[in-house]
Amino acid sequence: MADFDCIVIGGGPGGLAAAYGLHERGLKVAVVEKDLWGGTCPNRGCDPKKILMAAVEAQGRSEALQGHGLTGVPQIDWSSLMATKRAYTEKIPTGTQGGLQSAGIANYHGEASFEADGHLTVGNTQLSATNFIIATGQAPRIPNITGQEWLRTSNDFLDLDTLPADITLMGAGYVGIELAAIANAAGSQVHLIHHSDRPLRGFDGELVTALLKRLMVDGIDVQLDTDITAVTPADDQYQVTTASGKTWTTGLVFATAGRLPVTAGLHLERVNVTTTAHGIQVNDHLQTTNPRVFALGDVVDRPQPKLTPVAGFEGRYLTQTLAKKDQPAITYPVIPAVVYGKTQLAQLGVTPATATQQPETYAVSDLDLTSWYSYRRIQDADARIKVVTERSTQRIVGATMLSSEAEQLINYLDFVIQNQLTPTDIDQAILAYPTLASDLTYFG
Ligand SMILES: Cc1cc2nc3c(=O)[nH]c(=O)nc-3n(C[C@H](O)[C@H](O)[C@H](O)COP(=O)(O)OP(=O)(O)OC[C@H]3O[C@@H](n4cnc5c(N)ncnc54)[C@H](O)[C@@H]3O)c2cc1C
Ligand SMILES: NC(=O)c1ccc[n+]([C@@H]2O[C@H](COP(=O)([O-])OP(=O)(O)OC[C@H]3O[C@@H](n4cnc5c(N)ncnc54)[C@H](O)[C@@H]3O)[C@@H](O)[C@H]2O)c1
């Protein structure tokens, strides 16, 4: 039986960060992956989505400049956009596995499961280790409705040969809103259906409403407080039925109603690793209820958002924890979150809602950016930011924004917050003008 210092289960961004880090520190490491090497983000998540989004963003920029120097809005050619995406994603699994092989990290392809004596089985191979890291991620949740077998997922959307003329998305979270933006830009009639009155609960309510309004202006049929109860085949399409009895016919229906931790098949009960409905239970050292087994990334039950940079941060943290004893508990820096599209919703640090509840501690500036040079130049009609400052230090501690530049500005503000910079500190640098970075001193 091959024996290792650490076996990482799951070859996604979190597991790989841990595996490379432990290997660099001289530990004998193996990684097990049951499906695509590289995991969700580069194969069927962030990266392929953002390749499709490049065309969406370009179209949005062009639309904004109609009557301001541009004529003609570019149309999306789905098959060539998908070919561009595939040219990227097709190389990911072999490239990722090749990287492990070149580095000398043992890698096994197959589903890992624990045995009662604590070793791991992958197919016919038995492996043992001093420590294990579970980094098995999440998978799309399929709601329990009549006709649930007809529901597609984001995995299917991101690999569609042809985009139907009409699609329905069940759930207006990150995935639902981003896929709606892509399909809408590519010419599909999109029905974005959400079961409550408030999608994206972690984000500022006013800016979420402004984002949904923009999606509706773009032609998306956004229905809130609507429960889809059945999806049934109708010729070569599907009939969607809601709890109120409303029906419509659509080309495909996608479950975008959240994701669930992937723990089935691991037999965690055999090694006394406890799970909750939200994932694997860990302490503040990412240690599970079995002291030899750790967990990180999307599969963990913790309050931080399930994002690639968070999984990578946890992988690097575990690298230190397993290589050295007596490491402090994990503490997270501020975590930026972005919902991508023609206009992007981004959030970081202290939220306006929290700040408003503590008026002695925080001040909130709600700024309409549409007249600021950076946004006027590109005719961004949505641009708005809420900046949270700490009264005692006058430092920025949080920001929520909507604009076609939000994905960039949020990272500049991340550096400002993380390094506790004041406008005077920022003024010490000469920044290229006129750019988003040269606006930084204007935010307070
Ligand atoms: C459509 C979509 C878009 C997204 N966009 C963004 C974005 O723009 N930005 C962002 O930060 N995040 C985004 N995310 C989230 C991001 O993909 C995840 O947070 C990230 O991939 C988590 O990394 P991970 O290593 O924890 O898990 P994963 O990347 O999911 O990797 C887990 C791996 O474990 C493997 N595995 C599972 N069980 C076993 C087993 N028993 N044995 C062996 N292997 C196993 C799986 O096959 C998988 O490859 C997106 C997600 C989706 C679905
Ligand atoms: N841009 C990004 O960084 C990005 C993009 C995609 C995904 N992600 C990550 O992946 C995670 C999962 O994304 P997601 O969009 O699948 O989940 P999500 O939790 O963000 O959104 C799912 C939404 O569907 C709703 N819902 C649940 N059941 C429903 C039903 N029956 N009908 C209609 N609506 C229903 C939920 O209330 C929720 O608001 C995110 O939380 C995020 O961490 C990030």
CA-wise closest residue to 33 among 123, 118, 102:
123
- DSSP SS3 for 150: helix
Q: Is 398 annotated as a binding residue?
A: no
Do 156 and 224 belong together in one domain? yes
Distances from the Cα of 252 to the Cα of 84, 125, 244, angstroms? 23, 40, 21
Question: Which ligand 1 atom is at minimum distance from the Cα of 14?
Answer: 25
Going 34 to 40 to 44 to 48, the CA torsion angle's sign is negative
**pLDDT recorded at residue 223:** 98
Q: How far apart are CA 12 and CA 288, in angstroms?
A: 19
Do 238 and 281 belong together in one domain? no
Per DSSP, the residues of 127-144 read EEEEEEEE---EEE----
Do 129 and 15 belong together in one domain? yes
Do 133 and 14 belong together in one domain? yes
Note whether residue 71 is domain-resident: yes
Do 64 and 85 belong together in one domain? yes
Last residue of one domain, picked from the residues 257, 281, 304: 257
Distances from the Cα of 174 to the Cα of 50, 82, 83, 164, 346, angstroms? 13, 21, 24, 21, 11
Do 134 and 264 belong together in one domain? yes
Residue entry with tokens 């002695």: 360
Note whether residue 383 is domain-resident: yes
Note whether residue 335 is domain-resident: no
Which residue type is seen at 329?
A
Do 231 and 377 belong together in one domain? no
Note whether residue 279 is domain-resident: yes
Last residue of one domain, picked from the residues 257, 290, 308: 257
CATH code: domain of residue 370: 3.30.390.30
CATH code: domain of residue 157: 3.50.50.60
Residue 199 lies in domain = 148-257
Question: Which ligand 1 atom is at minimum distance from the Cα of 37?
Answer: 49
Do 84 and 170 belong together in one domain? no
Note whether residue 292 is domain-resident: yes
Distances from the Cα of 254 to the Cα of 136, 180, 214, 238, 281, angstroms? 23, 10, 22, 11, 30
Do 166 and 48 belong together in one domain? no
**pLDDT recorded at residue 326:** 84
Note whether residue 332 is domain-resident: no
| CB of 145 shorter than 6 A to ligand 2 | no
Cα(373) to ligand 1 centroid in Å equals: 38
Note whether residue 235 is domain-resident: yes
Note whether residue 338 is domain-resident: no
Do 70 and 87 belong together in one domain? yes
**pLDDT recorded at residue 325:** 78
Are β-strands 293-295 and 125-134 bridged in parallel, bridged antiparallel, or unpaired? parallel
The structural domain count of the chain equals 3
Tokens representing 371 are 């007249």
Cα(153) to ligand 2 centroid in Å equals: 12
**pLDDT recorded at residue 146:** 98
Last residue of one domain, picked from the residues 292, 323, 354: 323
Cα(170) to ligand 2 centroid in Å equals: 10
Which residue's CA is the nearest one to ligand 2's atom 16? 258
Tokens representing 41 are 């983000």
Question: Which ligand 2 atom is at minimum distance from the Cα of 171?
Answer: 34
Do 304 and 416 belong together in one domain? no
Do 136 and 153 belong together in one domain? no
This prediction has a pTM of 0.98
Contact 18, 132 (CB under 8 A): no
- pLDDT tens for each residue of the chain, 444 residues long: 899 999 999 999 999 999 999 999 999 999 999 999 999 999 999 999 999 999 999 999 999 999 999 999 999 999 999 999 999 999 999 999 999 999 999 999 999 999 999 999 999 999 999 999 999 999 999 999 999 999 999 999 999 999 999 999 999 999 999 999 999 999 999 999 999 999 999 999 999 999 999 999 999 999 999 999 999 999 999 999 999 999 999 999 999 999 999 999 999 999 999 999 999 999 999 999 999 999 999 999 999 999 999 999 999 999 999 988 788 999 999 999 999 999 999 999 999 999 999 999 999 999 999 999 999 999 999 999 999 999 999 999 999 999 999 999 999 999 999 999 988 899 999 999 999 999 998 987
| CB of 309 shorter than 6 A to ligand 2 | no
